[in-house]
A and B are shown apart, each in its own frame.
Chain A
Amino acid sequence: MQEQKTGFLRWPRNNPMVKESGAMHAIQKALRTKNIGLLLFLVLVWVVISRITPYFLQGNNILLVLDQTATVAIAGVGMTYVIISGGVDLSVGGIAALSGMMAGICITKWGMSFAPALVLAMLVGVIVGLINGLLISYFNLQPMICTLGTLSAARGLTLISTSGRPIFVINPTFNLVGNGDVFGIPFPVIIAVLVFVIGHIVLTYTEFGRYVFAIGGNQEATRLSGINVKRYKTMIYIISGFCAALVGIVLVGILGASEPTVGQGLELDSIAVTAIGGTNLMGGIGGLVGTMLGSLLIGTIKNSLTILNIVSYYQQVVIGVIIILAVLLEYFRKRRA
């Protein structure tokens, strides 16, 4: 148990219990370290698929994988915060759609420019997150039920606002956000990397990040240590709402329109990548590196099944199996440790 760590990939240091001998032992040790197993598995999938189809490793396709991974990864960052704190946020898909719709209305109906539209759209996500956080922290609603409610409400509001029709968004900056690139790297990927890096730094190195883990590990002990648990829990749901709104913006850019049905299943995908990444669904343990690897794994598999011309229905089965395998692996890893 000793080398089980939270957060960034860490090797056991100066641990007298671990003998440094033999390749087999090194592998075993590595498997016991968080995220290494997942990384190896990801590499293995890459090797196998590139053997089957050389198209996989071509530059364009790799960028496509990353591009397709970006939205889930961004939502996964917020979800990882929520799940480490012992909660769950089912409303992210609804928030993404509502924020995207807000952006569309601002640009197309109200004739705003990019910056104020962006601010208002993000604000929508933050407000829904705030509502989630307040209800869960101050009124003791169960996170699953509360966010299920806001998911439905946000989705409904989105549909009401345009009577269910999409709004086309013709704006060069939005187009850049969705489809542009910097030195060939798609913009959504850059956003995802930024969100990940900031999210990781905050979670690992800041006071706030420590409280996220402490609340998920033992909320009562944290409260009794004189920490304002309610305030921090509210902030955590705001972060999740913020990330979800960002996904909504990126999707508007990609699609060139605000689609009211966008982001369906985003909550389940982001929970899946968080779980695959080794974050404990009961809270207290986890990290964003795992979530990123999980997002890449899901993105890779979706992409390769597509280029292998496998019907998308099968993709869902494969992804389901992988989620279960990942959690099983975690179980065995823990048992061996």
Chain B
Amino acid sequence: MDTILRMERIVKTFPGVRAVDDVSFELERGEIHALVGHNGAGKSTLVKIISGAYQRDGGDFYLDGQSVNFSDPGQAIAAGIHMVYQELDLIPFLSGSENIYLGQSRFHNRLGFIDHRNKLKAAQELVKRLDVEKIDLTIPVGELSVSKQQIIAIAKAISANAKIIIFDEPTSALNESETRKLFDIMRVLTKEGVTLILITHRLDEIFDIADRVTVMRDGKLIFTRPVNQVKKQEIISTMTDMEGLPSSYERSTPEFGPTLLNVQDISVSKTFHNVSFDLHKGEVLGLTGLIGCGAIEVARSIYGASQRDSGEVKINNRPIKKGNTEDAARKRLAFVSDDRKRDGLVVMGSVKTNISLTILDQISRFGFVLRKKENQIVRQMIDKLRIRVSSEDQLVSTLSGGNQQKVVLSKWLLKDSEVLLLCEPTRGIDVATKREIHHMIRDFAANGMGVLVVSSEIDEILETCDRVLVLYEGQIIGEVTYNDFNRAKIINWMYGE
């Protein structure tokens, strides 16, 4: 066999974590190599080292037998390593042919003008080489389907003489026939001697298309094997603990109160379908699944952060208007996004102005904010949630992730919210604060709130929830209550087993 890429004892650390821990990894020329693992297993970090986005802290990296050190993605591309991202990095306003040859001066004539006709012809031949139906390469790529855009992204890599192409969750936005077409293209590529890395959480695909599979977990490479020597169940159980439950908080309220939140048959096309559930007073309900299963979108559309196509949401038996966050907040529904910077914080603002944002109307008289009252309320909240700040006027941008999250929680607690929708509540937060927040979630429920925890981290779900719903490809596939918690069952559901 002919090894094109060899990595030996690669180490990459970030503050607090060994993202890649002593990993040795090899690629054979012309193979399709699947790379799987849970969130935080280190697979993204590993491919980012390969594609030059990160620099390794230790270990050796050989490409075609030559030791290499990429200091940026440009060098990796020059060496023939390309990445096709989930969020395709095409320029939507430019045509297919322009995107394919972007940054290459191949079609500049002697005067520096672009030879559009030859460029288009070359691009069309390139796409034809991939053996696919005709794609209009003259219209802006933004007007093409995701599947066709992906093909253009692949053509772009080929045009630059790619030797290795890394696909990051390429099928997550494709339907079945588009997926089959993509796999056909991948096979054509390997015939031409291109080597492919496929990152995916759809384990069935591995058996359709890949030659070998590598499983990573907690930054370590667990095994690399030919796909015909491994079973799906084995991959799942290797990726994660199937046994044992974390030391949980006491579930003090086995009997829940009345239904607070009633979600009836809500759907968003291409994202999730006919999701229904009840959330009771005093209950922590978990909603989990793999990234892209639609769980976060469920929470967003319940609150009205994004629109839903159909279905109804009621809080305390009163319907919430769809897409109307003002109505939802007024009816005491609270939403904490998985993206704090984008959706949660006014980053230029202070701790105080962020915390009091939801209740300004309650602490104002004749439109004037009662500053003493505001300061007092905000300070109480800072003490209560133990937010570490030098003063309430500190800018939130200078806080740690954990303290920022506490600021976001504060503004909803002040509003006397009855139902909390928490999306990935501890993402990017240190271990100690994480535990603190988990404790808070139990406290919220004990004080009579209903909490929905949307998380792709199974430990978080097992530690905090009274009941868990598992979402697979946009549908609720299973439900289990605390007394019957079983890690293996939940994980298998996450993978659609």
Contact = CB atoms under 8 A, between A and B. Distances in A.
Contacts of A214: 346, 349, 353, 357
Given A4-B395, A217-B347, A223 B325 contact: yes
Interface of A: 1-2, 4-6, 14, 16, 202, 205-208, 210-211, 213-214, 217-218, 220-228, 280, 284-285
B411 interface: yes
B368 A217 contact: no
Interface string B380-394: 000000000011011
8 contacts: A6-B348, A210-B353, A218-B346, A221-B345, A222-B357, A224-B325, A226-B358, A227-B357
A217 B357 CA distance: 12
B360 A211 contact: yes
Contacts of B319: none
Given A217-B347, A227-B357, 16 more contacts: A2-B390, A205-B371, A206-B367, A207-B369, A208-B367, A210-B357, A210-B369, A211-B360, A217-B348, A218-B342, A218-B348, A221-B344, A224-B303, A224-B335, A226-B329, A284-B348
A330 B101 CA distance: 40
Interface in B323-357: 325-326, 328-330, 335, 337, 342-349, 353, 356-357
Nearest to A214: B346
B398 A2 contact: yes
Interface of B: 303, 305, 325-326, 328-330, 335, 337, 342-349, 353, 356-358, 360-361, 364, 367-369, 371, 390-391, 393-395, 397-398, 411, 415
Nearest to A285: B348
Contact of B345 (A208, A213, A218): A218
A14 to B, nearest CB: 8
A226 B326 contact: yes
A221 to B, nearest CB: 6
A16, A221, A223: most-surrounded residue (chain B CB, <10 A): A221
The main secondary structure of chain B at its interface with chain A is: mixed
Given A205-B368, A207-B367, A214-B346, A224 B361 contact: no
Nearest to B408: A221
Contacts, number: 90
The 4 closest A-B pairs by CB, nearest first: A226-B329, A217-B346, A284-B348, A207-B364
A16 B391 CA distance: 11
A210 B361 CA distance: 11
A220 B337 CA distance: 11
A224 B344 contact: yes
B349 A224 contact: no
A305 to B, nearest CB: 36
A224 B343 contact: yes
Nearest to B395: A1
A222 B329 CA distance: 12
Contacts of A285: 348
Contacts of B367: 202, 206-208
A219 B159 CA distance: 41
A5 B348 CA distance: 10
A208 B330 CA distance: 18
Contacts of B348: 6, 213, 217-218, 280, 284-285
A206, A218, A284: most-surrounded residue (chain B CB, <10 A): A218
B298 to A, nearest CB: 16
B2 to A, nearest CB: 50
A5 B349 CA distance: 9
B130 to A, nearest CB: 38
Contact of B368 (A6, A206, A227): A206
Contacts of B361: 207
A55 to B, nearest CB: 44
A285 to B, nearest CB: 6
Contacts of A227: 325-326, 329, 357-358
Contacts of A202: 367
B349 A213 contact: yes
Nearest to B333: A226
A94 B415 CA distance: 43
Nearest to A223: B325
Contacts of A222: 346, 357
B343 A220 contact: yes
Given A2-B395, A205-B369, A207-B364, A226 B346 contact: no
B241 to A, nearest CB: 35
A214 B397 CA distance: 14
Contact of A207 (B368, B391, B411): B368
Contacts of B344: 221, 224
A220 B340 CA distance: 11
Given A226-B330, A284-B348, A206 B325 contact: no
